Structure 1
Amino acid sequence: MITESSNLIDLHGSCHCGAVRLTLPSMPDTGIKCNCSLCRRLGGLWAYYPFGAVVISGHPEHTTEYIWGDKTLRTIRCKTCGCATHWEPINGEPGARHGVNLNNFSLSLQEAVNIRYFDGADTWKYIDD
């Protein structure tokens, strides 16, 4: 386990109440802030991994999902505290990826990643280039 006390980053996070716990397979290089209608409401800071690479405990027994739009992914939140923890593809085909909300991890992890801004509301392009 990587710990903050040794100036390294802990790759373990959880929702507010702790019912859903996430362990990242590696330190993310980038966190994505998106302004689409859902992400701006959630306030998510997303990191992407191959589907199944993140260890998630408490899912699905402590989670609920929200499916919207083109119905290709589900946004997952804790049933108890309501924190959005991740999103995943509805059809987990080979090569699929999912997003993990880095707001469920330590501030030191969030501060260590490069944050990019994505215009998911209009152009579907990064707006910080």
Structure 2
Amino acid sequence: MTHTGSCHCGQVKFEVDGEITGALACNCSICQRKGSLLWFVPREQLRVTAGDDVLATYTFNRHVIKHRFCPTCGMHPFGEGTDPKGNAVAAINIRCLEDIDLDAVPVQHYDGRSK
């Protein structure tokens, strides 16, 4: 299944392939503030269809995750990094996807603060 999403102002648009079977809510210093619900997919399943040239990047701590955001509206539609095996992954903020029933998605809580 292909899902479409965007930032709030619509300058950044993307498509992502896969079935959403769950999401992760992290309590690290940035995720807690953003309120993202993250769905992890292989990076090749994410396609930025508009705004790739304007996307801004924020990194912190160990600088291994690229937190991508729209510089106009400030929304964080996804992040990019690698999994423990070194594979490129995208962390999709499912709150930025169209037509998602957030109440139907099981959420796992992750203690990123203590990592």
- TM-score band (shorter)? 0.7 to 0.9
Equivalent in 74, 87, 97 of residue 79 of structure 2 = 87
> Hey, which bits of structure 1, 4+ residues long, moved more than 4 A?
none
5+ long unaligned stretches in structure 2: none
Contact residue 31 and residue 116 of structure 1 kept, 8 A? yes
Give % identity: 25
Once the 2 structures are TM-superposed, how far is the Cα of residue 110 of structure 1 from its aligned partner? 2.3
Contact residue 62 and residue 80 of structure 1 kept, 8 A? no
SS in structure 2 of the partner of residue 40 of structure 1? helix
Structure with larger RCO (C-alpha < 8 A, sep 6+): 2
TM-score under structure 2 length normalisation: 0.85
- Summarize the alignment of residues 55-94 of structure 1 with structure 2, pairs less than 5 Å apart: 55-89=47-81
Once the 2 structures are TM-superposed, how far is the Cα of residue 116 of structure 1 from its aligned partner? 0.9
5+ long unaligned stretches in structure 1: 3-9, 125-129
Query: What letter corresponds to residue 13 of structure 1 in structure 2?
Result: G
Aligned to 2:102: 110
Aligned to 2:112: 120
Query: What letter corresponds to residue 28 of structure 2 in structure 1?
Result: C
Once the 2 structures are TM-superposed, how far is the Cα of residue 73 of structure 1 from its aligned partner? 1.6
Question: Number of residues paired by the alignment?
Answer: 113
TM-score under structure 1 length normalisation: 0.77
Partners in 2 of 1:107 and 1:53 — Cα distance?
Answer: 19
SS in structure 2 of the partner of residue 28 of structure 1? coil
Matched, 1:45 2:37: yes
Contact residue 18 and residue 41 of structure 2 kept, 8 A? no
